Chain A
Amino acid sequence: MVDRLRLAVVGGGEVLERYHIPAINAVPEVVRSVVVDVNAERARRIADRYGFPISSVDLGDVVRHADIAVVLVPNGLHAPISCELLAQGIHVLCEKPMARSSEECLSMIDASRLGNAKLCIGHNRRFQQHMRLAKQILSKGLIGKIVKVQAEEGSPNDWPRSAAYFDPIMSGGGALLDVGIHSIDLIRWFVDEFQAVEYEGNGTDKTSESEARMRFDLTNGATGSLTVSRSRNLAQKLTLIGSDGFLEVGLWSATLALRCVKGKAFQNLDRLEIAVARRPPSDGSFAEQLRNLVSAINGEEDVLVNGHVGMAAVEVVRRAYLGRSQGALHRNAESK
């Protein structure tokens, strides 16, 4: 067993301070080592504030002083930075989406194999308590065969977005890749693989979309729709309708509602609201995600969201965008 892994963060943006610093604090198996950011002043500020002994603008410092790197840079830099680190044996936790294309994803997987390093993709929602509970309920087949999936997520004020989010080259996509990929990953985890996808969005070649809707068929025969937005408030929930009931999970809140037609508890009740918010009071999924990577490095368990899982979600988005470039299904853009 490796004793206290040295941890580096690459990129000192909002997501680091809001989610990853509390996660690092909650995992005693790691010790803070290096902060690397393209902006030296920002790297120094982060290092001073959160107790990292080294701040740097050089990625080489990560290789020299760390065992794990948490990569929190714009989408277009995920692959080059992760590949460089992985190839040199640094384990990487890379924020979602894994990369902009399947080719970039594959290069990361290859680098991980080459450097014998673990690669984990930040689909943190799989580690949320209510999502795990939902997975457990689904695995028991309590709502029967899933026949329909509906997901909605979006808000104009959910995240302080930098310019990189709106640059189609750097971001690789808009709301679907940035926001919708969470739901895509959950649907794959909960139900099955995506088979056919049909996309509508308002992006152009020069701007990434702020509104997207994807209709899809899954390999188990279920159909569904995913609506994402950066400009309006949506329901923020994922609903799975089965042959024997439904399950509804909150995408922004730890809520879980359930109905199983045959279940004893539903003889007199239409639905049950599961109280998952009581413990813990805050979202511990980022800490769980980091802990999963540490355990995988120590050989205690497998990485739950590995490179292949991350790539599969990116491929779904790419297939959706491919429909757009062919012009057949890009209805909103066409109408403009």
Chain B
Amino acid sequence: MLHNQTYKVSAVRIEDHDDLATGFRCALRQLPGLLPQVLPQQVIIKPNLCDITAWETGVTTDPRWIGVLAGELRAIRPDVKLRVVESDAISAYKTYRSCDETFNRLGFLSAAHEAGVELVNLSTCDAIEIRLDGIPQAVRIPQLLFEEMHFISIANLKLHGYTRMTGILKNSIGLLTDAEISSLHPYLSILISRLHKLCCPDLCIIDGRIGLDGGGPILGRPLRMDTILVGNDALAVDETACRLMGIPSKEVGHLEQTARDLERKLGRVEVVGDIRPRLFCFDAAQVHSSIQSKFGNRRLHQRMEIFSNRWIDRGFQFRYDPLGFAKRAISKLARSRRGR
């Protein structure tokens, strides 16, 4: 039986982009109970750092969120341990992005230092392989997920060539510790839904001050949207983001899959506050050819990807970073020889 509960999302207009703290506090005031009265010892913050691109482009998370969240959370529990997490990644453009370098170049290192927050590269911390229902291969997740925590996910308001939009739910892909996850792309909707079950955010923030129109999720036109969405339910916040971008949430595969798995209906969202939707237009011409091919020939691509992507990725890794590739290959070979 489907649940008919309505989920609330707080939406705040924020015209002064530098006054993030006031906007966030306003969102919290609008919908009391967004932050708990009692926090566990540890709070994990997962931003969206999918590329080394400044937050003003609408691609990544603004590092100032660290200070804003630290202030609010420490007001609840002064000794709370705050950790910002992200993993290494190989983008759709087959470029390798080191998490540590991203933290540094996007200003997270200095922001974390100022706020007394720890930065964690999930790709280098203890991980474990698990099997998720519906995914044919095992995925690596950090052992951090076995610990008690309050989990905050901060995403951007963006289109995505493959999944139509990316928000809180898609942001959880960054919890996987492996950089190379393209072989999982054919199962993206199921994977996102399963990851949501595995690590469901307690507080979801979509920073829609600047949205990303056009291609996404890395290329596109920054669009002033002046909105912050805050809620406790990831699906409801993503649905509101869809509404804001003029995308029917039923057309977003991972939202539909998550709703099905949660035995919920889409559309049961009550927005508290003001949102001013604007139609985001997907522009295939702006999208990288690899994404275009995925979008245009999705079914064919899904099948081919399973067979070819690993080898393609290895080729790109070798081409762009032969030394790193050789190091990884040698350590992998050594591991397999040593039976690890």
A contacts, CB < 8 Å to B: 26, 129, 133, 136-137, 140, 142, 258, 260, 262-269, 272-276, 278-280, 282, 284-285, 287-288, 291
Beta-carbon contact of B336 and A26 below 8 Å? no
**A-B CB contact pairs (8 Å), 14 listed:** A142-B143, A260-B146, A260-B147, A262-B147, A263-B145, A264-B147, A264-B149, A266-B146, A272-B130, A275-B130, A276-B129, A280-B336, A284-B338, A288-B339
The answer to whether the Cβ of B148 comes within 8 Å of any Cβ in the partner chain is yes
Chain B interface residue number, banded: 20 to 34
Beta-carbon contact of B339 and A275 below 8 Å? no
Q: Give the chain B neighbours of A136 by CB distance below 8 A.
A: 126, 143
Beta-carbon contact of A274 and B146 below 8 Å? no
A265–B148 alpha-carbon span in the complex (Å): 9
Q: Give the chain A neighbours of B200 by CB distance below 8 A.
A: 267-268
Beta-carbon contact of A291 and B338 below 8 Å? yes
Chain A's nearest CB lies how many Å from the CB of B226? 33
Beta-carbon contact of A142 and B131 below 8 Å? no
Beta-carbon contact of B338 and A288 below 8 Å? yes
Q: Give the chain A neighbours of B340 by CB distance below 8 A.
A: 129, 279-280, 284
Secondary structure at chain A's binding surface: helix, strand, loop or mixed? mixed
In the complex, residue of chain A having the shortest beta-carbon distance to the beta carbon of B337: A26
The answer to whether the Cβ of B128 comes within 8 Å of any Cβ in the partner chain is yes
A105–B136 alpha-carbon span in the complex (Å): 48
The answer to whether the Cβ of B199 comes within 8 Å of any Cβ in the partner chain is yes
The answer to whether the Cβ of B198 comes within 8 Å of any Cβ in the partner chain is yes
A23–B149 alpha-carbon span in the complex (Å): 42
Beta-carbon contact of A269 and B337 below 8 Å? no
A291–B339 alpha-carbon span in the complex (Å): 11
**Interchain residue pairs A-B with the least CB separation, the first 7:** A284-B339, A275-B138, A262-B148, A263-B146, A265-B145, A275-B129, A280-B339
Q: Give the chain A neighbours of B148 by CB distance below 8 A.
A: 262-264
From residue 115 to 136 of chain B, which have CB atoms closer than 8 A to chain A?
126, 128-131
Chain B's nearest CB lies how many Å from the CB of A176? 30
Beta-carbon contact of A269 and B197 below 8 Å? yes
Q: Mark B103-122, 1 if CB is under 8 A from A, else 0.
A: 00000000000000000000
In the complex, residue of chain A having the shortest beta-carbon distance to the beta carbon of B198: A265
Q: Which of A137, A265, A268 counts the most B-chain CB atoms under 10 A from its CB?
A: A265
A111–B129 alpha-carbon span in the complex (Å): 43
Q: Give the chain B neighbours of A137 by CB distance below 8 A.
A: 143, 146
The answer to whether the Cβ of B151 comes within 8 Å of any Cβ in the partner chain is yes
Instruction: Return the contact of A26 from the options B126, B335, B339 (Cβ within 8 A).
Output: B339
In the complex, residue of chain A having the shortest beta-carbon distance to the beta carbon of B150: A264
In the complex, residue of chain B having the shortest beta-carbon distance to the beta carbon of A244: B148
Q: Give the chain B neighbours of A291 by CB distance below 8 A.
A: 338
Q: Give the chain B neighbours of A282 by CB distance below 8 A.
A: 339
Chain B's nearest CB lies how many Å from the CB of A160? 25
Chain B's nearest CB lies how many Å from the CB of A19? 13
Instruction: Return the contact of A287 from the options B40, B141, B339 (Cβ within 8 A).
Output: B339
Chain A's nearest CB lies how many Å from the CB of B127? 10
Additional 4 contacts, C-beta under 8 A, given A265-B199, A275-B138: A136-B143, A263-B145, A263-B146, A280-B340
Instruction: Return the contact of B129 from the options A263, A265, A274 (Cβ within 8 A).
Output: A274
A272–B138 alpha-carbon span in the complex (Å): 12
A136–B338 alpha-carbon span in the complex (Å): 19
A268–B196 alpha-carbon span in the complex (Å): 9
Q: Mark B54-80, 1 if CB is under 8 A from A, else 0.
A: 000000000000000000000000000
Beta-carbon contact of A273 and B146 below 8 Å? no
Beta-carbon contact of B145 and A264 below 8 Å? yes
Q: Give the chain A neighbours of B151 by CB distance below 8 A.
A: 264
Beta-carbon contact of A264 and B143 below 8 Å? no
Instruction: Return the contact of A273 from the options B40, B131, B143 (Cβ within 8 A).
Output: B131
A129–B339 alpha-carbon span in the complex (Å): 9
In the complex, residue of chain B having the shortest beta-carbon distance to the beta carbon of A136: B126
A288–B340 alpha-carbon span in the complex (Å): 9
Q: Give the chain B neighbours of A269 by CB distance below 8 A.
A: 197-198
Chain B's nearest CB lies how many Å from the CB of A143? 9
A160–B337 alpha-carbon span in the complex (Å): 29
Instruction: Return the contact of A142 from the options B146, B199, B336 (Cβ within 8 A).
Output: B146
Beta-carbon contact of A278 and B129 below 8 Å? yes
Chain B's nearest CB lies how many Å from the CB of A142? 5
Beta-carbon contact of B336 and A265 below 8 Å? no
Chain B's nearest CB lies how many Å from the CB of A247? 11
Beta-carbon contact of A133 and B128 below 8 Å? yes
In the complex, residue of chain A having the shortest beta-carbon distance to the beta carbon of B138: A275
Chain B's nearest CB lies how many Å from the CB of A28? 9
Q: Give the chain A neighbours of B147 by CB distance below 8 A.
A: 140, 142, 260, 262-264
Chain A's nearest CB lies how many Å from the CB of B58? 29
Q: Give the chain B neighbours of A275 by CB distance below 8 A.
A: 129-131, 138
In the complex, residue of chain B having the shortest beta-carbon distance to the beta carbon of A129: B340
A268–B340 alpha-carbon span in the complex (Å): 31
In the complex, residue of chain A having the shortest beta-carbon distance to the beta carbon of B196: A268
Known: A274-B130, A284-B339. A268 touches B145 (CB 8 A): no
Q: Mark B195-216, 1 if CB is under 8 A from A, else 0.
A: 0011110000000000000000
Q: Which of A129, A133, A262, A264 counts the most B-chain CB atoms under 10 A from its CB?
A: A264
A142–B144 alpha-carbon span in the complex (Å): 10
In the complex, residue of chain A having the shortest beta-carbon distance to the beta carbon of B131: A275
Q: Give the chain A neighbours of B126 by CB distance below 8 A.
A: 136
Beta-carbon contact of A268 and B198 below 8 Å? yes
In the complex, residue of chain A having the shortest beta-carbon distance to the beta carbon of B44: A264
In the complex, residue of chain A having the shortest beta-carbon distance to the beta carbon of B126: A136
In the complex, residue of chain A having the shortest beta-carbon distance to the beta carbon of B144: A264
